[in-house]
Amino acid sequence: MMSTVIDFTSSNMEAIKMHKRNISPEGDLRHDRSRPEQHEFPQSATTDDFTASEGQTKTGVSRRKMLTMLGAAGMSLTAAGLLQTGALGASTVYADVYADKGGIPNHGAGNGNGNGNTTGSGPKCVILMTLAQLRSYTSPQTDEQYYLTDPGHEGHFHYDPTDSSSLDNTGTILVSSSGARFKRNIDKNTYNVTWFGAKGNGVTNDTPALQAAIDAIPPNGGTLYIPPATAFYALETGGLWLSDRTNIHIFSSHAMLKIKDGVPDIPKQQDSIYTTSVDNYTLLYLQNCTNMTIEGLQLNGNISNRTALAGGESFQTCLKIKGCTNVIVRNCIITEAMTDGITVTGIYQFTPTRQVQVSKHIVIDSCTVTKCRRNNVSLIAQDGVTMTNCLVDQAGTIQGTQPMVGVDVEPNPSWPRSSQNVILRNNIVTGSAGKYEISCGGADQHNILIDGNIIHDSIGTGLNIETGKNQPLYSNVIVVNNTFTKTKYGLRVVGRNVDLISNNLFVDNEQIGLFLYSSDGMMVTGNKFIRNGVAGIFNSTSDASLKIRSLCITNNWFEDNASAAFASHSCSVKLSMFDASSLVVFDNNKQINTPTASPKMKGVLIDIDCIAIANGNVSRYLLNSDHPHDRFDGVGNISLSV
């Protein structure tokens, strides 16, 4: 028989309080039928239900009837802790309803159905049990609900007489000694990892419990909730594996999953062999999944308390997204991975033809990724990755192995068109131990936007874009609105098809703001180059393949690009041109030394006569104020020495 359900408005909660205070609604506080809005009980519940009669307690309502009326709402309140000590006063409804002394016993073992009748025909009731008691319960009834009281396992179960095959997973399915299957009542399709035995105490190996929680989510998806823990959820026997899953939201308020101290690194294996969870020590591995969200989680590879294999990487990452579509990673902290913090890659197929199933439509937002051994973030095979508002720092600073890059967009040259539509926007990238903070390397990249990032404190280059000598394998690569500061070289471009560098700030870099090789058709406009040690823009090489073929430099500001260490070389722009037919345009730029600057910067320099045009430029206080742009022809230029 179905139980009656009460909607717990504030007025209905008052009815519970009356029951607690031993006040009958027919007494001083009885229900006023002229004001139904105050106590809107369902039609099946009347004031007669609250009138004391034979067999009922002095409180004015039987505990059986109270349970019947509470129904599902009572279960929800119990789960939420509202019926626990202190929620409604010192003498709680929880104690009144579930006490041994009336109506419903606080145990379920024994003869009958545990609710005071042996026929199973009474209204549905709730029986408190421990997990062990329910597993030993031999006489379940379909009209009973069972509430587990074990810490972390709390919740309501029901008996499913139609199921004789499901396995006990501790969290959502329990199997009794008689073979009965009890199923958890799932609210909003949300699964709590503590139901499955995850402890989060930093000692217990939580890998099996966490994986069981993932596996319990049905094929159509659900939410995996990882609550905050006293320490961290320890992973000792492997990482977590999701393959061919869809519509899963992994949510936490910054609970940490962490590899335990001393867990060994595993030998390097080609990533393509991973088709199952065997030998997987990536903390969270998504393969061929769709519509996934990971939010508010900490993933810690704990490399500071483990020993990495010498001589290279092991493919143990914190988060791997492989051949997936529509994945959002938001507000997570990723740290100390044995290899990469986050890897976005594809599923490679070698037969019958070489091809790759790239990851598509991946969003990484508002995350911190730090101190990972190889790279903090590696983007290898993708069509559509947007990374925004992230802090990426100190790549490779613990047991580092090359390349030790903050964000590495590194497609495999053997897989054509495997990297396109990548956006890096409004991130802070800093402190990497390798040559680059951000690198776009490999080959064959298309539609790359680097926008609004702050890139600083690098021992090498802030942003490296490189395809190799004269390889026309990039298209529509745009670098705008970024700040490059306190690096050796702010931005280094090797290749012919970077389209636009605009509205960036290059300031206080040790040597060069913008380092160019093999440029052909690039537009550099609207940037500021301030206090870079050698030059704002620079190319000086004897290798013909790396010289400049065509370049347009317009509407930029050059200021104090000089230093004592490089005084003889300091200038606003220095270029090695390919041949006499090469083209350089230098229009509407400002070349300024401040009055107190020492040493002072020279103007723009090119090494050979070529097609060089300079119009509308203004120079002031240059070291060679009579030669602001030698070898250039043009009109409207002004050079001031005072």
For 54, residues 6+ apart whose C-beta sits below 8 A from its C-beta are none
Q: Picking from 28-42, 153-167, 362-376, 537-551, which range would have the lowest pLDDT averaged per residue?
A: 28-42
Match domain 188-406 to its CATH number in 3.50.30.30, 1.10.10.10, 3.20.20.10, 2.160.20.10: 2.160.20.10
Continuous segment of H or E residues that includes residue 159:
strand 155-159
Percent of the chain at pLDDT exceeding 70: 77
Angle at 178 between CA 176 and CA 184, to 5 degrees: 30
CA distance 136 to 118: 19
> What pLDDT does residue 70 have?
43
pLDDT above 70 for 251: yes
CA distance 552 to 566: 26
List the single range of 81-90, 129-138, 277-286, 629-638 with lowest mean pLDDT: 81-90
Q: What is the pLDDT of residues 2-57, one digit of tens each?
A: 443 333 334 443 433 343 344 333 333 333 433 333 333 333 333 343 333 334 44
Rg (CA), the chain: 34
Q: Name residue, tokens 């430099």.
A: 553
Inform me whether the pLDDT recorded for 485 exceeds 80.
Answer: yes
Q: What is d(CA 182, CA 174) in angstroms, rounded to the nearest whole number?
A: 5
Higher pLDDT, 197 or 474: 197
β pairing state of 520-525 and 347-349: unpaired
- DSSP string for residues in 363-417: EEES-EEE--SS-SEEE-SEEEEEEES-EEE-TTTTT--TT--SEEE---TTSTT
- Bridge partners, 584 (sequence order): 551, 612
More confidently predicted of 112 and 368: 368
Which token pair is 593? 């030394």
Distance CA 129, CA 255 (A): 29
pLDDT in tens, 311-328: 777 778 999 999 999 999
Coil vs helix vs strand at 65: helix
CA distance 138 to 129: 13
Contact status, residue 44 vs residue 4, Cβ threshold 8 Å: yes
Per-residue pLDDT at 383 exceeds 50: yes
* pTM across the whole model: 0.81
> Which pLDDT does position 301 carry in this prediction?
96
Token couple for 43? 């039609």
Which residue in 309, 304, 316, 305 sits closest to 340, CA to CA? 316
List, in order, residues 6 or more apart from 302 with CB less than 8 Å away. 258, 259, 260, 261, 263, 336
**434-463 per-residue burial string, b: 16 or more CB within 10 A, e: under 16:** bbbbbbbbbbbbbbbbbbbbbbbebebbbb
443 or 458, which is more confident: 458
Which percentage of the chain shows pLDDT scores above 90?
A: 68
One-letter amino acid for residue 553 of the chain = I
Please write the tens of the pLDDT for every residue from 514-566: 999 999 999 999 999 999 999 999 999 999 999 999 999 999 999 999 999 99
Residue 85 has pLDDT above 60, yes or no: no
pLDDT of residue 17: 39
User: Model confidence at 416, in pLDDT bands (50, 70, 90)?
Assistant: confident
Most trustworthy range by pLDDT among 40-49, 287-296, 437-446: 287-296
Quick one: pLDDT at residue 610? 98
Q: Where are the domains of the chain?
A: 10-98, 125-187, 188-406, 460-642
Task: Place 269 in a pLDDT band, splitting at 50, 70 and 90.
Answer: low
Q: Which one has a higher pLDDT value, 499 or 253?
A: 253
State yes or no: pLDDT of 140 exceeds 80.
yes
Q: Is the peptide bond before 36 cis (omega within 30 degrees of 0)?
A: no
pLDDT at 35: 37
* Mean pLDDT across the chain: 83
Measured in residues, the chain has a length of: 642
Q: Please check the confidence at residue 74 and state whether its pLDDT lies above 50.
A: no
* Residue 354 reports pLDDT greater than 80: no
Q: What pLDDT does 275 receive?
A: 54
